[in-house]
Structure 1
Amino acid sequence: MTKAICFSCGAEKFGALTQCGACKSTPRVEGDLALSLVLSDHLSSETQLEVLAHEIRSHLKLTVPEALLRQAHEALKDPQLLAMLGTGPGNATDGSQARPTPRTARPGSPPTTRSSSNRRQRSLHQSELQQNPFALLGVTTRDDRRRIVELAEEKSLELDHDACQKARSDLTSPRMRLSAEMSWLPGVSPGKAAQFVSALHSDPMSVREESGLPTLAHLNLLASAFEAIDGNDSADDVAEFIQEMAYLVDDLSAEQVLRDINEDRSVSGFPEVKGIEQVEAELSERKRYYRNAIKDALNRLPPASLVDAMTTAVDQITGGGEDHAPELIDDLVDSYAVETQGFLQKEAESVEKLINAARDSATSGEKVVKPIVDKLVVVARNWDKVAQPIQLSAKARGIDHDPSHEIAYSIRSLAIDLFNEHDMLDQSQRLTELIQELFAELPEVVERVEQDSEALADIFQNRKMNEAQKDEWARDITYRAEVGVMFKDVLSISPDGLSWKNQRFPLDAVTRVRWGAVRHSVNGIPTGTTYTLAFGDNRSEAVVELKKESTYSTFLEKLWKAVVIRLLTELFETLQGGNEVRFGEATLSDDGVTLVKHKFLGTNEKVRCSWGQVHVWSADGSFYIGSKDDKKTYVGLSYIHAANTHVLEQAIRMAFKKPGMRRLSDMLQ
């Protein structure tokens, strides 16, 4: 034998049982040894080897004929061959060295390295397989009726007589025999079957290392091994074990089982099973047994480990809910959903109570709401941890998990209310992030919450920018100066307001400002300039007279940013609302101004002009608005004495620069 294929990677090598030069794998356990013999030119043709190599490299299910595998297993019983190989089924001392055959490998299937927890010392005595009639009487599937009766009589002397007689009846009655055969090891040689039963007694988890077995027999072995699981097993290992079972259940073939059973019956002399319907009915019972065996094993775990094992199994086998799960996983999740319904409903009620409490307490402020949200986060996480397997399964099946939708939208509603009605951005963001974390399996919820999250993130960034702008604005408007030679008075402006001597005005309370400068001279010789500043509210006004131009200019710059821009905006908004505003003798409306026509003789009269009919200018310390067509129609407002003249001038000059302006409030657009 020269040409061979590596059982692990599909690379070509020389010698069936030698180490692979590509992946360094060496067949050690019997299943791998038997498969390696099949993957050689000793048992397979060159064409078959090419097909099998392609299947291994592509991670496909191997199409190895069962007859060839049985032939390989028989060849491994040759003592001379085992001595030549220096290995055998019992020589693999560490299960972690063994690789599973690609026969059951699938994309996304769990890793095969066993954790140390499943190799600790344990034994089984009363597993279903050990109590099977074949095991009880020590008969094989190839023994005839006479041999079964003889062994039943012998065992009756050692064991319970009634149990032995029932076992005999089950095995000799063609109708009852099928159930015993299908819960035994169909397709496995009598010698190997005895070894497996012995292994269950001394080291139950060793059967997980077996490969190349007929699917039904393999499942029956693993299901019995599940009976050895207890609270000391890790959740990850149990999850891996569940996945191994689930993949095998999907591989069950009624036709293959029928062939294996009838092959043994042809030797034992019992009539063959004619209809596949009987086999299919028994397979349904087998699947129910596998599910119950796993459920019983899970129930022996601590509650937290049970939830972790289910979550890990469903998450890995569905690729996070993206792929359909095997039938066994769906059945397990359905049972899990029923058993956890009470807990989930109780926790859901707690979530709703906390949501209502947070909403009711929102008017008391964020300090009161935050502890409630803290509790809500904890309870929601507890609920989601238990619901995870159900959510993943629902996503994989393409269906909605209604309780998840209800809780997710309830939390989302609270997040929206806390922000929209109470401006609690931090708590709203916390809840939005919680929904994204806990309900990632719900596409519709994820999409909506992502939009919420983006909106909140934008608001958060805008607020940060606004806060930064506010800080910058506060720095820009803050100014303090001492005025006077001997006795100092303080003139100041800051976000807290305007202050002069003992007068203080909050910025928002200031409704009028005026300023200006008067130059003095004697006989044409300049003697100095007096700078006047005035600001006040509707009741009083502070007037400041300065000699230093630098103080005057700096304060005006701060005053403009702190007050004048606001007064300008309020003027536009007032006019936009249809109101009129008086400035001295002028009456402003949004679409025009009422001026005074000055007469040399007689009473002056008021003239209404649209903004297109007037022009403006400055002269003699005043701001003028006049008719373009009549020089006698105008109004003059002193900069230094009339309140808000500078505000009015700025509003009109800005508006005149806007093409097509008809209303002053167009500046708000």
Structure 2
Amino acid sequence: MDLLQNPFQLLTASPRDNRRRIMELADERSLLLDSSECMQARSDLTNPRKRLCAEVAWLPGIGPKRAGEMLSLLESSPSDLLGIDKLTSIARANLLAAGLSRLSNYTSDDVAEWIIEIAWAFEDIEPEELSGIINEERIVSGFPEVTDLSAVETEIQERRRHYRQVIKFALDNLSAKELVEAVTVAVESATDDGEEHGPILIADLVDSYEVEAQGFLEKEEGNIRALVEKLRAAVDAERPDSTLAPMMNQLIQVVRNWDTVAQPIQVSTKSRGLDHDASHRVAGLVRGLAIHMFNEHGKLDFSQQLTNMLQEVFAEVGEVAERTAEDADALGEIAEQRVRLIEDAKNKAEEWQREITYEADVGAIFKDKLRISPEGIEWKGRHWDLDSISRVRWGGTRHSVNGIPTGTTYSIIFGNGSNYASIELKKEAIYSNFIDRLWRAVGVRLLTEYLEGLRDGKKYRFGSAVMSDHGMELERKKLFGSNERVFCRWGELVIWDGAGVFCIGKKEDKKLAAAFSYQEEDNIHVLEAAIRMFWKRGGDRLSCLLGE
């Protein structure tokens, strides 16, 4: 029942008017209004049981003069009603409900403010207090007092239904976007963002809103599920990030749209200590995708995007918020570790670049530039990419005349499968500096390639010997008959140095051995480094040096 349709308003009567005065007013108003309506109003106000409905829907506790002023304001300027104070809770709730139904040109924030005020006014209504106010006026008017408190409580619940209808009518006059905004603002404000238990009318509002929004939420949940499955398939198919990024953006936007509509429901359920099952389902879908993208494919950035979004949109869903916060912390720590690793790798790369960079002038009169750097080796106008070099040799030869040392010549040879470069040096400093860089820039790579090949089952020939992962095949030379080839496991072999050669042979069998010249055979320094490292570490396979 609206205030302006209340029997007291139709007859211009007051709750303090007695039965005779009500009948007189009914006769007078019949001359101006529909007589049947006036007679019905008279009946409602003179029947004690029917009268209670009109009394609760009126302005209990407000004198006739002030009631008249407020009703005039209701008709002329309803927006000013919010500022009226010093009213009983029931009178304020009835007045604001009537005002809300008569507002014009209102925004979502306006509606939210009125909803909150009506909700709190209704929350403050106490049946005992209201019954006392009504009975005070009945004593004055001569009507029997209300003794059944349950009757008052029933009428209060009728008021609750009326307020719900008024609020729904106001919301229905908003656009869909404004409606969601109004309900969200009202719920968040009334519950302190879900931290406090809000008024019962706010819970009623959310329950009604949830029924209306159910179709949209279920449809969008289906879209979210489809997008998650599509993204999972795309990442499993190793689609490039340029393909995944727009799909990610679409998923995030759809989840945000879903959450915008679900927000007041989430806040309300939080304030009531309940779980919102749909939020758990949607968050579970997206969180599962984020975990899959990182654990199975190392997509840290995408996983962080999804997790950060979940933290933001499901902040009101306690368990989801806690779980995603843990995920975000874990991913953040991984991201920091990755940044540190990248920075360390960058620093090591820069250090390596500095360490392998060297240049010198070679020659007494006509000088040639010898240079090695990450860009490659330059010698006598030719450039060699470091990755193209597949063979290296180096060594020194001492010279003497009649037993008197006359100096040492240093030789460095490097090349690829078809060409090579040869460098002859006199200065030991240039030789030492260059081969140190050559080993770092090329030798270590060749060593790794040999070990990886051995691990994969390859074999490598050095002179007459054949190296495999488990040992060396050596050749025993015979004076008569063909030579004999014998495979020896690493544990059966020993190594030693000779004059300009690296030697390997079987223990206690001097005839089963091989010697490799550092200057005449390719990659002997690499072979020696691998075997000496292996001897130091131990094991049964040379490739175990890879640490796998």
**TM-score, normalising length: structure 2:** 0.81
Deviation string 1:291-317 (CA, Å, 9 cap, x unpaired) is 222222233334433322222222233
Q: Which position in structure 1 is the counterpart of 2:130?
A: 257
Is 1:213 matched with 2:87? Answer: yes
* 5+ long unaligned stretches in structure 1: 1-126
Is 1:434 matched with 2:309? Answer: yes
- 3-state DSSP of counterpart to 1:515: strand
The whole-number CA distance in structure 1 between the counterparts of 2:13 and 2:164 is 28
Is 1:312 matched with 2:185? Answer: yes
Structure 1 stretch displaced more, 588-597 or 443-452: 588-597
Question: Contact conserved, 1:514 with 1:641, CA < 8 A, in 2?
Answer: yes
Is 1:132 matched with 2:11? Answer: no
Closer/same/farther in 2, CA of residues 476 and 326 from structure 1, 3 Å limit: farther
Question: Contact conserved, 1:479 with 1:492, CA < 8 A, in 2?
Answer: yes
Q: Which position in structure 1 is the counterpart of 2:99?
A: 225
Question: What is the percentage of aligned positions where both structures have the same residue?
Answer: 45
Question: Contact conserved, 1:590 with 1:664, CA < 8 A, in 2?
Answer: yes
Question: Contact conserved, 2:394 with 2:410, CA < 8 A, in 1?
Answer: no
Deviation string 1:404-431 (CA, Å, 9 cap, x unpaired) is 3444344445555656677655444433
- 3-state DSSP of counterpart to 1:636: strand
Q: Which position in structure 1 is the counterpart of 2:328?
A: 450
Deviation string 1:435-458 (CA, Å, 9 cap, x unpaired) is 332222334444244266336624
Closer/same/farther in 2, CA of residues 456 and 311 from structure 1, 3 Å limit: farther
Q: CA deviation at 1:229?
A: 3.6
Alignment of 1:414-493 (within 5 A): 414-415=289-290, 425-446=300-321, 447-448=323-324, 449-450=327-328, 453-454=331-332, 457-458=335-336, 460-461=338-339, 464-465=342-343, 468-469=346-347, 472=350, 473=352, 477=356
The whole-number CA distance in structure 2 between the counterparts of 1:361 and 1:260 is 70
Q: CA deviation at 1:164?
A: 1.7
Is 1:526 matched with 2:409? Answer: no
**2:500 aligned residue (621, 633, 636):** 621
The whole-number CA distance in structure 2 between the counterparts of 1:240 and 1:480 is 79
- 3-state DSSP of counterpart to 2:3: coil
Q: Which position in structure 2 is the counterpart of 1:244?
A: 117
Is 1:294 matched with 2:164? Answer: no
Is 1:640 matched with 2:519? Answer: yes
Question: Contact conserved, 1:546 with 1:552, CA < 8 A, in 2?
Answer: no
Is 1:370 matched with 2:245? Answer: yes
The whole-number CA distance in structure 2 between the counterparts of 1:231 and 1:382 is 26
**1:515 aligned residue (394, 405, 410):** 394
Alignment of 1:325-336 (within 5 A): 325-336=198-209
- Code of the aligned partner of 1:326: P
Is 1:394 matched with 2:269? Answer: yes
Closer/same/farther in 2, CA of residues 654 and 361 from structure 1, 3 Å limit: closer
Question: Contact conserved, 1:425 with 1:460, CA < 8 A, in 2?
Answer: no
- Code of the aligned partner of 1:292: Q
Q: CA deviation at 1:142?
A: 2.2
- Code of the aligned partner of 2:31: L
The whole-number CA distance in structure 2 between the counterparts of 1:646 and 1:514 is 7
Q: CA deviation at 1:220?
A: 1.5
Deviation string 1:94-128 (CA, Å, 9 cap, x unpaired) is xxxxxxxxxxxxxxxxxxxxxxxxxxxxxxxxx92
Structure 1 stretch displaced more, 309-318 or 628-637: 628-637
Is 1:141 matched with 2:21? Answer: no
Q: CA deviation at 1:581?
A: 5.6
Q: CA deviation at 1:482?
A: 8.8
CA root-mean-square deviation: 4.1
- Code of the aligned partner of 2:528: E
Structure 1 stretch displaced more, 630-639 or 254-263: 630-639
Question: Contact conserved, 2:193 with 2:267, CA < 8 A, in 1?
Answer: yes
- Code of the aligned partner of 1:306: L
Alignment of 1:336-347 (within 5 A): 336-347=209-220
**1:157 aligned residue (31, 39, 49):** 31
- 3-state DSSP of counterpart to 1:532: strand
The whole-number CA distance in structure 2 between the counterparts of 1:469 and 1:587 is 39
Q: CA deviation at 1:141?
A: 1.6
Question: Contact conserved, 1:618 with 1:624, CA < 8 A, in 2?
Answer: yes
The whole-number CA distance in structure 2 between the counterparts of 1:458 and 1:397 is 39
- Code of the aligned partner of 1:214: T
Deviation string 1:175-213 (CA, Å, 9 cap, x unpaired) is 221211111122334444333323323443444334453
**TM-score, normalising length: structure 1:** 0.68
- Code of the aligned partner of 2:267: L
Question: Contact conserved, 2:300 with 2:331, CA < 8 A, in 1?
Answer: no
Closer/same/farther in 2, CA of residues 415 and 588 from structure 1, 3 Å limit: same
Question: Contact conserved, 2:506 with 2:512, CA < 8 A, in 1?
Answer: yes
- Code of the aligned partner of 1:274: T
The whole-number CA distance in structure 2 between the counterparts of 1:245 and 1:551 is 92
Question: Contact conserved, 2:60 with 2:91, CA < 8 A, in 1?
Answer: yes
Kindly tell me the number of residue pairs found equivalent between the two proteins. 537
Closer/same/farther in 2, CA of residues 277 and 347 from structure 1, 3 Å limit: same
**2:531 aligned residue (643, 652, 656):** 652
Is 1:381 matched with 2:256? Answer: yes
Deviation string 1:338-373 (CA, Å, 9 cap, x unpaired) is 223344445445555655665666655333443444
- Code of the aligned partner of 1:226: L
The whole-number CA distance in structure 2 between the counterparts of 1:419 and 1:323 is 37
Closer/same/farther in 2, CA of residues 186 and 286 from structure 1, 3 Å limit: same
The whole-number CA distance in structure 2 between the counterparts of 1:263 and 1:636 is 122
Question: Contact conserved, 2:469 with 2:542, CA < 8 A, in 1?
Answer: yes
- Code of the aligned partner of 1:514: R
- 3-state DSSP of counterpart to 2:259: helix
The whole-number CA distance in structure 2 between the counterparts of 1:542 and 1:216 is 102
- 3-state DSSP of counterpart to 1:624: strand
Closer/same/farther in 2, CA of residues 566 and 653 from structure 1, 3 Å limit: same
